[in-house]
């Protein structure tokens, strides 16, 4: 399915009114909900993001709120207090069950959230994971997401090409090291695969050989540090990495806020030539690519995930028809494109001009 003009127009800047709505842990945009499949009454759906501050999630919340009335959805927006907050998401799931919502759209913050999702499904709710596939195969009914492993592979291939055969001294700035989140290992392991590095267990971070050969030469994995998906975490993580190894010349980051923090730490250390790559494709991130702070990023489309997810739950409620996965995949692929102003032959990409036309946030 193509990212169409209707979806793109929903990604305009936030108004003051919508900012007031997208606050903290939970906000309801309609007081009524319905799980009726026998009428055109609004269908109750809960959108539960990891937090309400990351531009990716803010865009998803705002776009879903604007699209909901036209889709026949009574939407409740909720989130954790921060990325990794499981308790806030569990409470939001319990509230969705109590309201009698037909379904939930969720980006899980961890294991206890997945347990709560299973309970919600047992209570009759249809569960769609957005962006972050659950660690267990039977947790949700279906996932609508970027191909996060492919997103990682794209930036890995691009980074390897930039080195032109030089040794790769690599810093990996993931989201967490104390819990397993699928988007974390999918992007990180995809990046290493793109670099041509043997990942050992492709669904586990940190078990690959610390030294060896990548597609262009030799590599050293200098560090694997958590950044929490935030700018300050990216800077702290990068500072820790540089203490371990001041010769780092390649930096993988879980998302663009992490990349910005990492670049600040590199600059403070007097390192200007390191290759920094990331995933997200928000407007700020694409501008950072244009300005040279990030070499390349893999752009995903959060608004498309949320809108298609709501459409799927409405169709299920009114017709009984369930969504299906993309051909050859165990999820519905909402698309990814590499954004860079330094294209590499053989690696499909778009430039920042096009990336800014498609960006969000």
Query: How many CA atoms does the CB half-sphere of 13 hold within 13 Å?
Result: 3
For the entire predicted model, the pTM comes to: 0.79
Residue located via tokens 């810093």 = 171
Query: In the CATH scheme, what is the homologous superfamily, with its name and number, of domain 5-146+301-323?
Result: Response regulator (3.40.50.2300)
CATH number listed for the domain at residues 148-299+337-358? 3.40.50.2300
Which segments of the chain belong to CATH 3.40.50.2300?
Answer: 5-146+301-323, 148-299+337-358
Q: Name residue 127's beta-bridge partners.
A: 104
Residue-wise pLDDT tens for the chain (361 aa)? 333 433 333 333 333 333 333 333 344 343 333 334 446 899 999 999 999 998 889 999 999 999 999 999 999 999 999 989 999 999 999 999 999 999 999 999 999 999 999 999 999 999 999 988 888 889 999 999 999 999 999 999 999 999 999 999 999 999 999 988 899 999 999 999 999 999 999 999 999 999 999 999 999 999 999 999 999 999 999 999 999 999 999 999 999 999 999 999 999 999 999 999 999 999 999 999 999 999 999 999 999 999 999 999 999 999 999 999 999 999 999 999 999 999 999 999 999 999 999 999 7
């Amino acid at each position: 399915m193509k990212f169409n003009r209707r979806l793109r127009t929903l990604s305009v800047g936030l108004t003051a009114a919508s900012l007031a709505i997208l606050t903290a842990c939970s906000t309801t945009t309609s007081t009524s909900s319905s799980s009726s499949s026998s009428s055109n009454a609004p269908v109750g759906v809960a959108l539960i993001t990891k937090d309400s501050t990351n531009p990716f999630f803010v865009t998803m919340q705002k776009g879903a709120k604007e699209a909901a009335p036209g889709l026949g959805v009574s939407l409740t927006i909720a989130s954790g207090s921060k990325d990794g907050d499981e308790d806030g998401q569990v409470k939001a799931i319990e509230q969705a069950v109590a309201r009698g919502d037909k379904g939930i759209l969720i980006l899980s913050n961890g294991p206890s959230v997945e347990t709560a999702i299973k309970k919600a499904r047992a209570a009759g709710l249809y569960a769609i994971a957005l962006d972050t596939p659950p660690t267990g195969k039977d947790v949700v009914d279906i996932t609508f997401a970027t191909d996060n492993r492919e997103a990682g592979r794209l930036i890995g291939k691009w980074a390897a090409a930039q080195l032109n055969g030089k040794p790769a001294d690599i810093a990996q700035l993931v989201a967490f090291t104390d819990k397993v989140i699928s988007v974390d290992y999918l992007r990180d392991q995809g990046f290493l695969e793109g670099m041509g590095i043997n990942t050992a267990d492709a669904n586990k971070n940190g078990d690959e050989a610390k030294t060896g050969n990548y597609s262009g030469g030799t590599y050293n994995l200098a560090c694997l540090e958590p950044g929490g998906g935030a700018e300050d975490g990216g800077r702290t993580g990068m500072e820790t990495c540089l203490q371990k190894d001041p010769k780092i010349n390649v930096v993988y980051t879980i998302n663009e806020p992490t990349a910005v923090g990492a670049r600040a730490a590199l600059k403070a250390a007097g390192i200007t030539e390191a290759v920094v790559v990331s995933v997200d494709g928000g407007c700020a991130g694409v501008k950072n690519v244009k300005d040279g702070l990030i070499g390349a990023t893999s752009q995903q489309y959060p608004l498309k995930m949320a809108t298609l997810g709501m459409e799927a739950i409405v169709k299920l409620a009114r017709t009984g028809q369930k969504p299906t996965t993309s051909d050859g995949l165990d999820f519905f692929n909402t698309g990814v494109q590499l954004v860079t102003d330094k294209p590499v032959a053989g690696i499909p990409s778009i430039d920042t001009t096009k990336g800014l036309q498609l960006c969000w946030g």
